[in-house]
Structure 1
Amino acid sequence: MSPYNLLPRFKAQYDANNQEFSISGVVRPQAIDELGPSIALLRDAIGRVRGVLYVNVRRLTQMNNAAFHAFSRIIIDACRARPDLKFVVITSSVVGWTSRKFGRLSGIEPNITVEEYDSEFYPGQGFLEEGGFVPILRTQTKMTWRHERAILPRHGMKPGIVMADICCGIGDFAVLVQKEFQPSRIVALDHSISSLDYARRVMREFDIRGIEYTYGDASEMLLDEAQFDLVTCRHSLQIFNRPELILKELYRICKPGGRVYITNEKNSHCLGEPRAESIRWTYNEVAKLFGHFEMDVELGPKSRRYLIEAGFEDIRVETFMVTNLDGDPQDFADVIAAWADVYAGEMASKRGDCPEFVARFRQGFQDHIFAALHPKGYAGWPIWVASGRRPQ
């Protein structure tokens, strides 16, 4: 995401993951020149996308007519120049004037529609209402992608390759890879039908091509042997009780000379300051909690050993730290809040933890959020990246 702090009272940004341009705050320029950076950002976003561009104004509290006409003209001109492009303006019923004002655009151009956030949350209100994790998963990918886009070429990523993304989840990583690196083909596999349905919907809306979403068990894939130049499997080995079975399959479908790329965590190394001791205690307990359910969220530093034992050579390992300083600190806080709900909620309850433990456990997550949002604070989430080459 590329933020532009244009004036003290408003902000414009573009999120490539969601194909969403957003503007928030009070936009009342005295001269159109004051909008220059945000207008340039909108033009750049239009030039980058296919399918649907979301324009999010639900946090826009004021906008004068000069600003409204400036942004509207760009959108309308883009509709006329590119009939293939659709715009969805996300407004909020809480700020009712946005729906009325931007609603006029849909009467001018049929490729512009307006949706009230409260009525149809994007992306995927249905998944959210079912207790889904989709918005948080997308935020996590956005946070890690800032690092992985630079790391991937060191592990075999390049244009034109044939790639598999195993345990692809909601498919957002595959979409980002397709946009950034343009492999000739991506096969993205997952065992969750609802996640694949979501991924296919996003692919249609954003007019993404070259990704084949398929249902399957990562430990017994119905994919031919030795057909992929690069096989990725992110944040997944750590939640299987026998990761060596997954690695055996990743090895099998990788071409000789190709690479398998994995990412995993070591949750006990999550950190924050201030309130470091409480945070450290909670994430040590997270590791124990996952261990109770036969999952290993400490797997990150073990990646090299697993790859060697699976038969790979030329093992490459590196780490990166996702922090509250990478982008919007609220993104980091939102992810931690979602972890707290799952770990200190459903998982702790299923293990039978007592109320006193759960209260202390949850407090550590709250302290991590406090560190992330503190003006002098620091909060981190470490990721291990590793890849290995299948011998020729």
Structure 2
Amino acid sequence: MPAPSQAFVARYDENNQEFSLAGTVRPEADGEVADGIAVFNRALGHVRGTLYVNVKRLARLNNTGFRILARAMVEACRARPELKIVVVTSSVVGWATAKFGRLRLIEPRISVYEYDGQFYPGQSFLEDGGFIPILRNQTRMTWRHERAILPRHGLTPGLAMADICCGIGDFAVLAQREFAPSRLVALDHSKSSLAYARAVAAEFGIQGIEYTYGDAAEMLLDADQFDFVTCRHSLQIFNRPDLILRELFRICKPGGRIYITNEKNSHCLGEPRAQSIQWTYTEVAKLFEHFEMDVELGPKSRRYLVDAGFHDIRVESFMVTNLDGDPQDFADMIAAWEAVYAGDMAVKRGDPPEFIERFRQGFRDHIHAALHPKGYAGWPIWVASGQKPI
């Protein structure tokens, strides 16, 4: 067994010409990382052109470890003039970009790429805070259903739980109050959302939620540690949901379950003015597709879970409606959708004014249906969960 200071894994992926280091590298002498450097040197024997050095999951690296790795990279470039090295970092590991970036001053053929600088195509719409009213209203509407659904998918009091892509943290607060997990980690890649989440928890006097900044596709969380892992309304806004599911699988304990919710936005409905409403939500799906997001993912959930290796898969759906509580809550949610979808997103796509006006009208008609004394308005959600094999 490695010593605690050497709890790291070194690998080389020949297909991607990528050498990766993960874990903790804190040696006191060169020989303590000899195995890792040996993998690096074997990688050099195979690579042509560019070697990628992936340190996205390198949680800790002391100065001795950095010096050893830096020396190996610099010497490799000087011995092979045709070689370039790209160090792949993440903003989650804040020190890595600056630390490895200094190597360019020593060897110009070593560069740093912070891969999540453009994390996923729709990130900007989340980072500017525009989604906060949407997320707040959505959770208010869906919780009435999910508090009864969650136990059917395996959530009981006392479990170790993780809420991945926690957004503004309101779901984590509700889960903490309702189910009292033994541990609750809430992770998100948006610093503005996490700041809001911590404020929400403080406002409600909720303690014990571990709010964590992290990349859901490359989490620094240890494997096999959570009984129940949630990821709500999030796979649909990533252009590679399979990468997120791979990580959910990894951090889930054998025998534990992951729980996901997603939408099929084109199935939003309302009466009266059904035709206008249907047209707009069909266009919403196309708009999200333009930004490499899939708000039609809901019914595909079972396939994604099967492909990710889960079994005992449970799927159900529910309709959030204007009849669930105060119809104004539903109307407020739609108004928030209109502000971001017909505002920021449609404008950024370059849609003409006449399209945007018709697009907006469908949202307004949905609000009309929600508030009409004889009206009905609905928003469908798919819930799916799967067990990690024992």
1:335: Cα distance to partner? 0.8
Which amino acid in the other structure matches residue 146 of structure 2?
A: E
Q: Secondary structure at the match of 1:160?
A: coil
Deviation string, structure 1 residues 156-185 (Cα, Å, up to 9, x no partner): 100000000000011100000010111111
Deviation string, structure 1 residues 36-65 (Cα, Å, up to 9, x no partner): xxxxxxxxxxxxxxxxxxxxxxxxxxxxxx
The CA RMSD over aligned residues, in Å, is 1.0
**Which structure is larger by alpha-carbon Rg, 1 or 2?**
2
Contact 1:315 1:389 in 2 (8 A): yes
Aligned to 2:247: 249
Deviation string, structure 1 residues 305-361 (Cα, Å, up to 9, x no partner): 000000000000000000000011111111111111111111111111111111111
- The aligned runs of 1:61-80 (5 Å cut-off) are none
1:207: Cα distance to partner? 2.1
1:212: Cα distance to partner? 0.4
Matched, 1:274 2:272: yes
Deviation string, structure 1 residues 100-121 (Cα, Å, up to 9, x no partner): xxxxxxxxxxxxxxxxxxxxxx
Aligned to 2:291: 293
- The aligned runs of 1:189-338 (5 Å cut-off) are 189-338=187-336
Which amino acid in the other structure matches residue 198 of structure 1?
A: Y
Which amino acid in the other structure matches residue 213 of structure 1?
A: Y
Aligned to 1:84: none
Which amino acid in the other structure matches residue 248 of structure 2?
A: L
Of the three residues 170, 175, 178, the one matched with 2:176 is 178
Instruction: Report the identity percentage.
Output: 82
Which amino acid in the other structure matches residue 254 of structure 1?
A: C
Output the CA distance in 2 between the equivalents of 1:300 and 1:292: 18
Output the CA distance in 2 between the equivalents of 1:135 and 1:352: 24
Residues 136 and 287 of structure 1, relative CA distance in 2, 3 Å threshold:
closer
Of the three residues 379, 382, 387, the one matched with 2:380 is 382
Output the CA distance in 2 between the equivalents of 1:131 and 1:172: 15
Output the CA distance in 2 between the equivalents of 1:318 and 1:137: 21
Contact 2:270 2:378 in 1 (8 A): yes
Output the CA distance in 1 between the equivalents of 2:344 and 2:130: 13
Which amino acid in the other structure matches residue 170 of structure 2?
A: D
Aligned to 2:358: 360
Output the CA distance in 2 between the equivalents of 1:352 and 1:246: 30
Output the CA distance in 1 between the equivalents of 2:331 and 2:200: 25
1:202: Cα distance to partner? 2.2
- The aligned runs of 1:126-141 (5 Å cut-off) are 132-141=130-139
Which amino acid in the other structure matches residue 270 of structure 2?
A: G
Output the CA distance in 2 between the equivalents of 1:268 and 1:132: 22
Output the CA distance in 2 between the equivalents of 1:209 and 1:203: 7
1:131: Cα distance to partner? 5.5
Q: Secondary structure at the match of 2:294?
A: coil
1:134: Cα distance to partner? 2.8
Aligned to 1:188: 186
Contact 2:133 2:336 in 1 (8 A): no
Residues 195 and 179 of structure 1, relative CA distance in 2, 3 Å threshold:
same
Output the CA distance in 2 between the equivalents of 1:133 and 1:279: 21
Aligned to 1:161: 159
1:139: Cα distance to partner? 1.8
Aligned to 2:117: none
Contact 2:255 2:389 in 1 (8 A): yes
Q: Secondary structure at the match of 2:351?
A: coil
Aligned to 2:107: none
Output the CA distance in 2 between the equivalents of 1:142 and 1:344: 23
- The aligned runs of 1:112-151 (5 Å cut-off) are 132-151=130-149
Contact 1:228 1:253 in 2 (8 A): yes
1:195: Cα distance to partner? 1.1
Which amino acid in the other structure matches residue 338 of structure 2?
A: A
Which amino acid in the other structure matches residue 292 of structure 1?
A: H
Which amino acid in the other structure matches residue 349 of structure 1?
A: V
Q: Secondary structure at the match of 2:230?
A: strand
1:205: Cα distance to partner? 2.9
Contact 1:184 1:210 in 2 (8 A): no
Contact 2:134 2:337 in 1 (8 A): no
Output the CA distance in 2 between the equivalents of 1:390 and 1:165: 16
Contact 1:269 1:382 in 2 (8 A): yes
Give the unaligned 5+ runs of structure 1.
1-129
Which amino acid in the other structure matches residue 209 of structure 2?
A: I
